[in-house]
Structure 1
Amino acid sequence: MENLIRYVPLLLNGVLVTVALALISLLFATLFGALGAAGRISRRPLASGAVLLYTTLVRGIPDLVMLLLVYFGGQRLLNNLASLLGLGPVSLSPFWAGVVAIAFIYGAYLTETFRGAYQTIPQGQVEAAQALGLRGFALHWNVTIPQLIRFALPGYANVWQVLVKSTAVVSVIGLEDLVGIANEAGKTAREPFIFYMAVLAVYLFITWISTTLFEAMERRYAAPLAHAR
């Protein structure tokens, strides 16, 4: 226990790195998912087919394999581009490699989450809004997006929970996140069990906080529907 207390400052830094990695990855995954969903529901076969290929392939590749492909493949690609431009060697940091890999993976899942939520919106409400004169941005802002958020929230929360756990994989490529620091500290102190139990406690705490926040958001977006009834 004394060794664990001694490493608390380092572990807290690791927690910050893990949380930052998860949040930034979620931001980009949300962007990929929104663009992917727009492609899937579009009437253009090329766009819909390309997104379907993306979601099918990505969801079939293990997270670790995707991470290694992005880290080592991205490193090589960047250096090849730098060489063509007459620049020196370029280094891809483990953090941003993790962001790209995780966002790319979970963007595929969010694509289907957003697509399903959009298709759940009653078409009659859209037609009624159009009959009232709403078009374009006003239609989406006042009718489509609020309902899409409500229908997508449960799936979005599940993706976030899985995404948070997947950040642990990034320590494999040398990121000094919570898992990476705990692993090194456990080896140094020869007490790996204590440090991994601390990691477990932190991830459970993040899960509890996330569940509480998403449940509050779901109640907030469900309230207008309850009043309408």
Structure 2
Amino acid sequence: MASFELLGFGPTGWGALLIGATLMTLAVTAAALAIGAVVGTAVTAAKLSSRVPLKILGNAYTTVFRGVPELLIIYLIYFGGSSVVTAFGKMLGYDGFLGLPSFLAGSLAVGLISAAYQAEVYRGAYLAIATGEIEAALAIGMPRAGRLRRIIMPQVCRFAIPGLGNVWQLSLKDSALISVTGLAELMRTSQVAAGSTRQYFLFFIAGGCLYLLLTSFSDQVFNWFERRANRSMPTATIGKA
């Protein structure tokens, strides 16, 4: 009964805080995915560019952000960014310490990590487009903006959905590392609840179940988007002449 009370919504329960922390985890992941989409698109354009310097920069970005530990990047953004903001504040006459908000620093760090993986997803989706479609558009004189809007973007979005689902799951788990910044997301709240009640097994299992609930629900959402994006595509027939 004590376990139900601790996980409940009563005066001694942590249920409301865990639910709020779960929503915070979703908010951080969604913000990170949006940041990653913007940066990842730019990195993809660089990697696909015919200009060698841009291609080198794009490849360097994906190599660094996929090769360096995620926790190190979070430390660099949070503590390094706070140092930069503090130095800038001193230039303006403020002597105190200025720290980056935990939500902003965490979303930015996970978003930059996500961008490296999204860039590879978008690059693969672009390369999956049939070259004949682009050649046909060029043959009829379709402008670049028209090719991008009517041919490239719709198909890149469709081909990228499965990969983006994996990136979302990765960012969802990476958000647990933001607990080092003090943000009250799911991992941090589970740690605080476990330390306050000495019920480590109970709250870490509860946190794990909430993460599994988020990932399972996310799988269903991305599967729905994939089915909807492919509903107009012809299905392969096996065993038919």
Distance 1:31 1:91 in 2: 25
Distance 1:156 1:9 in 2: 30
1:77 maps to which residue?
84
One-letter identity of the residue aligned with 2:130 = P
Distance 2:214 2:141 in 1: 45
| Residue number among 4, 7, 14 corresponding to 2:7 in the alignment | 4
| Residue number among 104, 109, 122 corresponding to 1:101 in the alignment | 109
Moved more, 164-173 or 126-135: 126-135
Contact 2:71–2:177 (8 Å) recurs in 1: yes
Greater gyration radius: 2
1:56 maps to which residue?
63
Distance 2:137 2:233 in 1: 17
2:125 maps to which residue?
117
| Residue number among 149, 154, 157 corresponding to 1:141 in the alignment | 149
Secondary structure in 1 matching 2:234? helix
Moved over 6 A (4+): none
Distance 2:94 2:123 in 1: 42
Q: Percent identity?
A: 34
- Within a 5 Å distance, the mapping from 1:18-33 to structure 2 comes to 18-33=25-40
- Within a 5 Å distance, the mapping from 1:185-196 to structure 2 comes to 185-196=193-204
| Post-superposition offset of 1:110 | 0.8
More relative contact order in 1 or in 2 (CA 8 Å, sep 6+)? Answer: 1
Secondary structure in 1 matching 2:93? coil
Moved more, 130-139 or 4-13: 130-139
**Aligned Cα RMSD in Å?**
1.6
Indicate whether 1:127 and 2:130 are aligned: no
Count, aligned residues: 229
Deviations 1:168-196 (A, max 9, x none): 11112211111111111111111111111
Distance 2:204 2:162 in 1: 29
Distance 2:105 2:71 in 1: 12
| Post-superposition offset of 1:227 | 7.0
Distance 1:31 1:228 in 2: 34
- Within a 5 Å distance, the mapping from 1:148-159 to structure 2 comes to 148-159=156-167
Distance 1:132 1:209 in 2: 44
Distance 2:159 2:68 in 1: 27
Q: Which runs of 5+ in 2 are unaligned?
A: none
Distance 1:217 1:125, change over 3 A: same
Q: TM-score, normalised by structure 1?
A: 0.95
Contact 2:24–2:185 (8 Å) recurs in 1: yes
